[in-house]
């Protein structure tokens, strides 16, 4: 499938790809368009501009405009929430729509509802963000109404999509320049960006009530050339897992702002400058441009480009200040050219707000976490490097999480912090002596009184090290 900027992918709980879309078609893993899966976002731009660019060999142009998740309490229904841009220059004609895919017998797929409008408010460009409701079951989908300071809130439950509220707060976001809305991983912060004219709005978010509060603002960051034209500006942004830092991605640099600093927004670090490398092997004439990012299952931040290259950058420790965040330039080499299409994944692992007024799902009858915690390691036996996979953790109930490797006498010989909402970590065991080791995934429970809690093992496995 060809991609231009829009990209959506959806896998099962084991990471096996089910369906994917370029904003115009939905395909399965055989590369076939699923039943009734054509003509997504159909309109004038679809037929005259996008589709005919190269006789169909392209995709929809709006980045981060597709969000995919299961319908609450129904794993046989997959919902696509997507933005249909206005036909031509008329951004007021843009709408947020829903397409429903059902999983048919024998693991087939069929679109039963397509391009249904779920809000009459026009969204700003590339502006969709989703977050689990505090009940751990339903979904919030938020977007900023174009040319306003109003945030529209959709609530998706097992029966329908409700236009829950519209809250006008913060500065204006204009449709042509807004390139991202996003939630923090824990859902307690929401932001929306207007790259050039108005800057970035940042709020606290209540996952129970949907209320935005505690407004913070980052003014536009613009570089002009000698002719007064835009040379560089904010393209997108994201929060660190601990919500302490705001990463701002400009085309030619990456900035890290300390949201907790009394000097915000004047307290920031430049963690990456302009990469002038040109991938001439593919005929590229433009250098790498920082465009967008997403979190991987290892807790690292993966950064894509806008210029069409075969590389991704990474931030290996997003909670680290300044150089401690461990930014790596072009750290991943891809087999194909990549441009624009960083996926817009919500945090599927976000759980309920335990003990809150909206904590209505957790019960003895139907718990959210039904699996026994497990920890797996491979390869095993190991020589140099290993990968640890672990299943769902109730992140909202713990303060810290670690992987610890102990010898037969119980001494911890290696340990590593586990990033929140991750499911995978890599270790080097090259320096360990040959033998059998115990690996423990340990968690420190949160204490409402703030007193000390000791780490407790929640999953254990054995590792055999060979020379």
Identify the helix (H) or strand (E) that includes residue 44.
Answer: helix 44-44
pLDDT value at residue 425 = 93
pLDDT, tens digit (0-9, with 9 covering 90-100), for 294-348:
999 999 999 988 877 889 999 999 999 999 999 999 999 998 888 787 888 999 9
Q: In this predicted structure, what is the pLDDT of residue 89?
A: 53
Complete domains list, the chain, with CATH: 375-465 (2.60.40.10)
Predicted confidence at residue 5, as pLDDT, reads 83
Q: Which two tokens stand for residue 120?
A: 């009459």
pLDDT at 198: 85
Instruction: Give the pLDDT means over successive 10-residue stretches in the chain (467 positions).
Output: 87 89 93 94 73 61 89 94 76 88 90 95 90 94 93 95 95 77 95 86 96 93 79 87 94 94 93 87 80 91 86 95 96 87 88 82 49 86 92 83 93 92 92 94 78 80 92
Dihedral Cα 381, 383, 389, 390, nearest 10 deg: 70
Say if residues 83 and 123 touch (Cβ distance below 8 Å): yes
pLDDT at 50 (0 to 100): 57
Tell me, what's the pLDDT at 363? 47
**d(Cα 395, Cα 353) in Å, to the nearest integer?**
10
Concatenating the DSSP letter of every residue in 163-227 gives EEEEEEEEEEE-TTT--EEEE-TTSSEEEEEETTTTEEEEEEE-TTT--EEEEEEE---EEE-TT
The answer to whether 440 touches 460, Cβ cutoff 8 Å, is yes
pTM for the complete prediction?
A: 0.91
């Amino acid at each position: 499938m060809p991609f231009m900027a829009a990209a959506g992918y959806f896998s099962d709980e084991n990471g096996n790809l089910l369906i994917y879309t370029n904003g115009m078609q939905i395909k399965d893993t055989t590369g076939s368009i699923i039943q009734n899966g054509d003509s997504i976002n159909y309109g004038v731009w679809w037929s005259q501009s996008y589709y005919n660019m190269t006789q169909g060999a392209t995709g929809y142009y709006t980045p981060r405009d597709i969000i995919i998740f299961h319908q609450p309490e129904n794993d046989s229904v997959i919902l696509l929430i997507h933005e249909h841009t206005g036909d031509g220059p008329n951004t007021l004609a843009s709408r947020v729509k829903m397409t429903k895919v059902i999983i048919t017998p024998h693991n087939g797929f069929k679109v039963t509802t397509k391009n249904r409008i779920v809000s009459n408010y026009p969204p700003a460009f590339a502006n969709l963000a989703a977050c689990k409701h505090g009940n751990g079951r339903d979904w919030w989908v938020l977007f900023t109404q174009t040319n306003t300071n109003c945030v529209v809130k959709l609530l998706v439950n097992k029966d329908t999509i409700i236009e829950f509220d519209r809250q006008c707060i913060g500065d204006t976001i204009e449709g042509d320049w807004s390139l991202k809305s996003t939630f923090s991983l824990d859902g307690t912060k929401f932001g929306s960006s207007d790259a050039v004219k108005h800057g970035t709005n940042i709020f606290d978010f209540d996952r129970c009530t949907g209320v935005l509060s505690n407004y913070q603002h980052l003014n536009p960051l613009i570089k002009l050339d000698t002719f007064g034209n835009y040379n560089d500006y904010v393209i997108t942004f994201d929060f660190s897992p601990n919500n302490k830092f705001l990463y701002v991605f400009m085309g030619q640099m990456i900035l890290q702002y300390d949201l907790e600093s009394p000097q915000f927004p004047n307290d920031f670090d430049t963690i990456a400058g302009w990469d002038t490398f040109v991938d001439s092997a593919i005929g590229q004439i433009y250098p790498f441009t920082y465009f967008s990012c997403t979190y991987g299952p290892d807790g690292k931040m993966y950064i894509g480009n806008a210029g069409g290259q075969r590389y991704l950058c990474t931030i290996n420790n997003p909670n680290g200040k300044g150089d401690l965040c461990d930014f790596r330039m072009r750290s991943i080499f891809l087999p194909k050219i990549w441009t624009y299409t960083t996926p817009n994944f919500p945090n599927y692992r976000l759980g309920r707000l335990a003990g809150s007024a909206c904590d209505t799902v957790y019960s003895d009858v139907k718990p959210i976490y039904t699996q026994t915690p497990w920890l797996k390691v491979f390869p095993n036996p190991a020589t140099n490097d290993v990968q640890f996979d672990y299943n769902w953790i109730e992140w909202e109930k713990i303060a810290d999480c670690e992987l610890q490797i102990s010898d037969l006498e119980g001494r911890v010989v290696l340990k590593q912090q586990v990033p929140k909402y991750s499911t995978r970590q890599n270790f080097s065991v090259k320096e360990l002596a040959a033998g059998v080791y115990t690996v423990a995934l340990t968690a420190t429970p949160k204490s409402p009184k703030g007193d000390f809690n000791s780490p407790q093992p929640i999953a254990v496995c054995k590792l055999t090290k060979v020379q």
